[in-house]
């Protein structure tokens, strides 16, 4: 999905509609941020992996990842971002 496709779909909803992302194992989280990522498309066939993966390859496809976090989680288990060294 492109940004334009997303905008077009979102325009069909009332502006106050909540937007969420799937939680790690279950449930949903509010979107807390977004970041630009470099992707290798169709990197995985296994059902338990996302279809695409982060890459440093120069032929990567640039994408925007919407991120969410469970603000009720303890600090030692919170997501720190894609490619985080922590």
Domain that holds residue 54: 19-72
Instruction: Please tell me what DSSP assigns to residue 60.
Output: P
Question: Tell me, what's the pLDDT at 86?
Answer: 44
| Average pLDDT by stretches of 10, the chain with 86 residues | 95 95 89 93 93 93 91 68 53
Question: Tell me, what's the pLDDT at 76?
Answer: 63
Model pTM score: 0.70
Contact 64, 42 (CB under 8 A): no
Beta strands in the chain (DSSP E): 20-22, 28-40, 53-54, 61-68
* Alpha carbon distance 44, 30 (integer Å): 26
Tell me, yes or no, whether 23 lies in a domain. yes
The number of distinct structural domains making up the chain is: 1
Question: Tell me, what's the pLDDT at 69?
Answer: 84
Tell me, yes or no, whether 66 lies in a domain. yes
Tell me, yes or no, whether 8 lies in a domain. no
Question: Tell me, what's the pLDDT at 77?
Answer: 58
Phi-psi region of 20 (alpha: psi -120 to 50; beta: other; left: phi over 0): beta
Tell me, yes or no, whether 67 lies in a domain. yes
- For residue 48 the two structure tokens come to 């338990």
């Amino acid at each position: 999905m492109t940004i334009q496709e997303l905008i077009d779909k979102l325009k069909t909803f009332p502006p106050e509609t909540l937007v969420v992302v799937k939680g790690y194992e279950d449930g949903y989280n509010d979107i807390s941020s977004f970041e630009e990522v470099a992707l290798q498309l169709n990197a995985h066939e296994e059902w338990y992996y996302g279809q695409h993966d982060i890459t440093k390859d120069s032929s990567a496809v640039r994408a925007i990842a919407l991120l969410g976090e469970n603000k009720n989680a303890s600090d030692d288990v919170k997501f720190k971002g894609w490619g985080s060294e922590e």
